[in-house]
Structure 1
Amino acid sequence: MSEEHRETGTGWPRPAGPGRPTGPAGEPDPRPDAPDPDELSPLAPVEPEPAEREPEPEVPPVEESAGDEPQAKPVPASRRWSSAGAMIAVLLALLGFTLVVQLKTTSTDPTLAATREEDLVRISSDLDSRERRLRQDIEALEESQRQLRSGAQGREAALEEATRRADELGILAGTLPAVGPGLLVRFEAPPGKELSSARILDAVQELRGAGAEAMQIAGSDGSAVRVIASTYFVDAGGGLVVDGRRLSGPYTITVIGDPATMRTALNIPGGVVASVRDDGGNVTLEDREAVEVSQLHAPIKLDHARPVS
């Protein structure tokens, strides 16, 4: 084996590499812009250089202690906004549904829907009368306040105001008689039956609500009882017991107040007059320019209370 065979280790001679040509063909190109023969051929494909990648922002590492639990990944802002928007939409829908149901409930009153036009007019007139009466009371109180603050005349005005208030309280308490325009309301029981105390109490409450200022109730024998805030009515065999006094029917209530307003209150559909007539009884209303409530209520004896000086 020759030396060449030993050098390659294959037993074959080393192949001869391409050498530079010799002679005239191997001389360098005399042109000044000729490429270097050692450089690649311009026809050989040139691999594109890799584009430079923008450096990624460095995220500071989160230091975790040995005892801390791994923190949860932050929720994207878009997901948070979508959840909040859905919750707001649900709440708005529930609010709108509640408002619609409430409006439908309040706008459909079965009592007013079944009321006749004439009755609605009377109810409206009753409310207007109450409003006028309250406005008059406000004006009177404001006038009294101005008089009490008017300097030299304040003492005299205060005395007059105290006297007037005492008279009003005496009428309300039943310790003073009263006279004025009003009604006579007569209740007749159904044949073979007795008028219940609940019907008389309903009539008294309706009259008070319509602005009655003083009233008394009388039986068939002419005995009367002053009706005040503490008056009670109890059923008794063949009649009523009013504040401990027994009365027999028919019953007559004498009341002072605005006749038109009180008449409207008693004649409301489903009210006192309608209920008594449905049971077979009868109610008669009579307007009077002046009625007198003369029956007095014994003043209550005070054992512990005394006026403050």
Structure 2
Amino acid sequence: MSGEKEPRERDEEQPESVEPAGSTEPVAPVEPAAVAEPVESVGPEEPVAAAAGREPVELPSDGRTRLKAAMWPPRVSRGQLVVALLLFALGLALAIQVRSTNDHSELRGARQEDLVRILDELDGKQQRLQSEKTQLEQSLAQLENSSNQAKEAQEQTRKKAAELGVLAGTEKATGPGIVLTIDDPQGQVKADMLLDTLQELRAAGAEAIQINDVRVVAGTYFTDNSSGGGVQIDGKSVSQPFRFTVVGNPQDLTPALNIPGGVVRSLENHQARATIVQQQKVLVDALAAPKPLQYGKPAAK
């Protein structure tokens, strides 16, 4: 057995070259295959970089240290940042709500007597504010009323002044009325006849009267002109025809002049002719110069 084994081992150690049949060229001896060196397996705790030819990084064996190494340095993505901001806002809102709730918690823990006192104080404050509001509203109403009253009084004063101006002859007057024209070719009309005509017109409701270019007022007087005939009114000579421009109701003025034995008949008896024309609008534009009062003064109320 040993003799057979030794030649076989010898043959394995020194292989002989085999020349193929029919070939004259020597065949190169076959080199034994190189045996690859064993590669150390990469363990699960070693990084893959060691297999790629880089130096292996030793990982800590402690779990806490390994967790810390995995979390630092932090790797924050955009999504994680958005989530963090939303969580921060939610936490802030919750904190504000809790603080607001805590502010009112003092009333929850108050005694019944304290709550009744606080309620009474609030009712009293509300009543005072309501009273102030009522007073302010009354003051506003008084101011508005006084303003309206002052405006109304001013308007009434203006109207009254205009009316008094018409009566005093310092303001022009217009409205419905009549125009009475007296033609006296014989010169028989005297001052007393013109005065009677004026009194009849005033009694019939005449509001403004003008004879020719003289305004008739409360103090108007008539005199006969002795030098050249004719009539003087308030010291001014007035010649015929005498024209009365009267503002008033024509339906009252005309019958008053035409009554039997009245002004028209009296003028006709003195060879004078009276003509009455009713108009819807007449204008009394002659003005009287106001005279200052010498004796009379307004009586105090």
* TM-score, normalisation: structure 2: 0.48
Structure whose alpha-carbon radius of gyration is higher: 2
* TM-score, normalisation: structure 1: 0.47
